[in-house]
Structure 1
């Protein structure tokens, strides 16, 4: 019996559109004797299994270091970074055969680390900035304490054509005592956000009769709704309008289908729950 291939979600950092598209195409057609790969869209809230960064882009390298790569969080730098990184590096012109060979070895070590054979020395840091600084940070720590907002205290509202996802999310978050509600109506979603404490709204973009971008805009127009995180559940084949999403105030997207660990990880960050 043929064993199931390991699937790794990949985030590409800092590549020009042409090179990024070329890498995405290559990763979509990997060698048969290694893992398969799925590139995350730019606005995806899912934590990647693997990061590939452009070594010629300072912002990408800063984001890579903030991600804190290790055996369980492998990363690859492509290009002349000009310095050593705690991860693998490949020079340009890129040899695809060498890249896939290296990625396969990284994937094997990741599995070993996750199963306890090569336990990481320190646990990953779960609280990270959304905007990576490129300069030296000399800010007084007390100023950051003043800027820090209180953790969300609302629940999760799911907009979908059926309640099955609501039941599933409620089971996943049962240990955290987070309320999870469901509706298939845009009007009901707006009303619930106005009348009940809601911290996260998850909108399935395939829900009949729902314009997810218009619904997000309507929610965000309400008083106090700036702290509500609106997340779109998107099938990559159905498309995602980045410009409309950002104009409407969408926090980001999650791809369908997704593993429970990715769903729980995203919700924990949005709700400021402990790891």
Structure 2
């Protein structure tokens, strides 16, 4: 059977791939997995294997772990190959057949490398199936993959969620829109504290509370501390995560932010990687996993 040629999914769908992490501690895996949840909002999504799931589409290898690096280079069954490739991350560059991403991780660079390797793998799988229609999948991939077309990877996109960016700086607002839009977030804006409270209440009244509110501390009108207090003291808006944005990063500033009820604190200028890692914590899937 000839498998379909890799294709771009419909606009309301994404492609889901199983990513296996090797050579990481449990704490590292949890940190990586939380940020990988963001890929569930992209056209190519990467998820950890679930119980009983034997297929691995792509591997993430920790080059700082000698055992994981040795396994990568053995090329045994179950190791990365042209049909199930790998991306390697580490503090010191290493020579492997696979792309290397340096630590500390730049998330967008990592996502782009995973996408590139996975697209090449899909082309290899299509070519393999075209060349050998009787291949049973036993050596490199589970045989059930041979019986399924590419549609097995296509899943429905999650519902779009809305975040609110509260900052009187047009530069900050533009930065946040550019960095959040690729992950299918609708981004609203407010320039004052009063506007922020009004928008948060209106959104909650429409039964569509903000998933996350990025809140500058120093603004015209009421400051961010007071805005956060009002949002967190309102039963309709308190479920929205509040992330403080400020150029003030002293212990006193962080304590005041915590006392106001904020969920996280980011220093300006906000780094892209810190932004993505922070918002990943407040996706619905992340919140549900913390309840379990």
Q: TM-score range by the shorter chain?
A: 0.3 to 0.5
Between structure 1 and structure 2, the one with the greater Rg is: 2
TM-score, normalised by the number of residues in structure 2: 0.42
Question: Which has the larger share of helix?
Answer: 2
TM-score, normalised by the number of residues in structure 1: 0.44
RCO (CA 8 Å, sep 6+): is it higher in 1 or 2? 2
